Amino acid sequence: MDLGHYQHLLVYGAGVMGRRMVQELDCYCADKLSGIAVTDMRGNPEEISSYPVKSISSYNGSLSQDNTAVLISVTRAAVEIAETVQKNGFSHIFVLDPGFENILLENYLVTELDRLRKEV
């Protein structure tokens, strides 16, 4: 899957891995990074690196779901999070491994970050 054709990228997760993902994406595709989604705002910051942190339900309707890829940074609960993301109307969902070298979803493997780096 080519992330280049999505107008918006939404990172799911505001923890350590989400912050790392935001830092990495901010270097290579800041114009597409629309924010950070979480299940619940309790205990989460309002922003990370100047990108808004909002509940996934808050993004429902504010971003074009056909043109938005949701990148899940929380691998240990990825299935449950993917279900939550789908319930909120998003269908382009990817789970990133901790090294950000591969994007994984239902046995689909792509080295997407390398491609993004080469485009810059």
pLDDT tens-place string over residues 56-93:
999 988 888 789 999 998 877 888 899 999 999 998 99
pLDDT digits (tens, 9 = 90+) for 91-104: 899 887 655 444 44
Q: Which helix (H) or strand (E) holds 70?
A: strand 68-72
Q: How confident is the model at residue 37 (pLDDT cuts 50, 70, 90)?
A: very high
- Tell whether the model's pLDDT for residue 34 goes beyond 80: yes
Mapped onto helix, strand or coil, the DSSP state of residue 102 is coil
What Rg value do the Cα atoms of the chain yield, rounded?
13
- Which strands, in side-by-side order, build the sheet including 93-96? 47-48, 51-55, 33-38, 8-12, 68-72, 93-96, 103-105, 108-110
